[in-house]
Structure 1
């Protein structure tokens, strides 16, 4: 048996209680407060993670399009979303390599581990894009500072940048527990091996660390910009005070 597994990220959090009302006729084979796993038909599954990932296991193109549009509450072309695709087959050993997954046995727990890892991977893609966007914007001001000794950034814009950076860090911390194996893999050797190989192939931990490092660099740059702005406004205030004092002195003597 061969199955195509493809994950998408909707770039927003999902309310699983609302999601359940969208698919009343589908059978839930596994669920927790952070995910739902539906069985569509034999060897066909839908996995939905609350941080915005949707994973289709051996589903038709029509079902994918309808499901994504239903969950997003608008028509969306799947090609426009962050995605990750793998081919899964049953073999004599567990292995993950070059967009191919091999497992000894296919069951709900195996599908859960595969879908969770692909769901995390596409979520990381979304966070990488957002981090890159923030970095590119701060780079503009860094270049202005390098070439002119100044930059065109107000205190309000600065606060917005800092807020976006901190919110992104908080979202990652809240959504992605990348250093923990799924609970289902803790006591089953083959599932633990599958989880390890998927994480290694997808570079989940390294990519997560890369995002954290990039956000720290962005925050350091913003802190520097803020210090420069504060010094600039402080100097301006000092000059205003000096001018007011001079005006008072002039009025006294003249």
Structure 2
């Protein structure tokens, strides 16, 4: 039995720099967005530019050392978003309850498995970030419900909007969840495996759920921003009214004198 372990380093990776560091391993596939290495017989390392690193049949020491090299500092794998699946070989292709059943393990099979796991842990990272944003905006929503106002400065508002938009842009840039490797289109078994992995890992619906959550957060922030703008507009109106009254009073006093 083999193991596939995926981790997300929560930042983008410079593949050209990483490639220069991994000269001890055999590079069997590479594109602009990923590197796939064979480290031993049926052992693989897959590095995706949006921060996911996936291992098949690698020792714990190799996993920890690789993560430390890629992240440029000591990184405890237990603190990272991760997925682990058992790989078993047999006569059928199936994915269920933490196990991936395949007919054999080769470069193309490994590529399909590792791409899907890379997407899954990246989604996990984005879910965590989205939940954090949602929790913070929920605080101000509750304040608005209870008091009719909220304690949020213009600078904080801009930062929230910026974080939300950057998160949406990162997801759009990083995760092509509806795309599959070219090899999956040319081989029935690979296509079936890719479909079943996406279905088991709930890739598409999780991606859509994050998008919906971010849209809801953005709508809340837009509402907060509108309320804040109205508040400042009202304040400016009162300031103008007071200044006009002051001028009127000053004119009256001058005439009386």
Q: What residue in structure 2 maps to residue 4 of structure 1?
A: 3
Q: Distance between the aligned counterparts of 2:182 and 2:244, measured in 1?
A: 69
Q: What residue in structure 2 maps to residue 42 of structure 1?
A: 41
Q: Is the counterpart of residue 145 in structure 1 residue 169 in structure 2? A: no
Runs of 4+ with deviation above 2 angstroms = none
- Residue 144 of structure 1 and its aligned partner are, at CA, apart by 0.3
Q: Distance between the aligned counterparts of 2:183 and 2:233, measured in 1?
A: 57
Q: What residue in structure 1 maps to residue 174 of structure 2?
A: 175
Q: What residue in structure 2 maps to residue 223 of structure 1?
A: 222
Q: Distance between the aligned counterparts of 1:20 and 1:107, measured in 2?
A: 22
SS in 2 for 1:150: coil
Q: Distance between the aligned counterparts of 1:15 and 1:73, measured in 2?
A: 12
Q: What residue in structure 1 maps to residue 160 of structure 2?
A: 161
Structure 1 unmatched ranges of 5 or more: none
Q: What residue in structure 2 maps to residue 52 of structure 1?
A: 51
User: 1:16-54, CA deviations, whole angstroms, 9 ceiling, x for partnerless residues?
Assistant: 001111111211011111000011111111000000000
Q: What residue in structure 2 maps to residue 75 of structure 1?
A: 74
SS in 1 for 2:186: coil
Q: Is the counterpart of residue 235 in structure 1 residue 220 in structure 2? A: no
Q: Distance between the aligned counterparts of 2:118 and 2:180, measured in 1?
A: 14
Q: Distance between the aligned counterparts of 2:182 and 2:23, measured in 1?
A: 27
Q: Is the counterpart of residue 184 in structure 1 residue 183 in structure 2? A: yes
- Residue 105 of structure 1 and its aligned partner are, at CA, apart by 2.3
What value does the CA root-mean-square deviation take over the aligned residues?
Answer: 0.6
TM (norm. structure 2) is 0.97
Q: Distance between the aligned counterparts of 2:4 and 2:61, measured in 1?
A: 15
- Residue 217 of structure 1 and its aligned partner are, at CA, apart by 0.4
Q: Is the counterpart of residue 30 in structure 1 residue 35 in structure 2? A: no
TM (norm. structure 1) is 0.99
Structure 2 unmatched ranges of 5 or more: none
SS in 1 for 2:95: strand
- Residue 225 of structure 1 and its aligned partner are, at CA, apart by 0.2
Q: Distance between the aligned counterparts of 1:58 and 1:64, measured in 2?
A: 10
Q: Distance between the aligned counterparts of 1:182 and 1:248, measured in 2?
A: 73
- Residue 79 of structure 1 and its aligned partner are, at CA, apart by 0.5
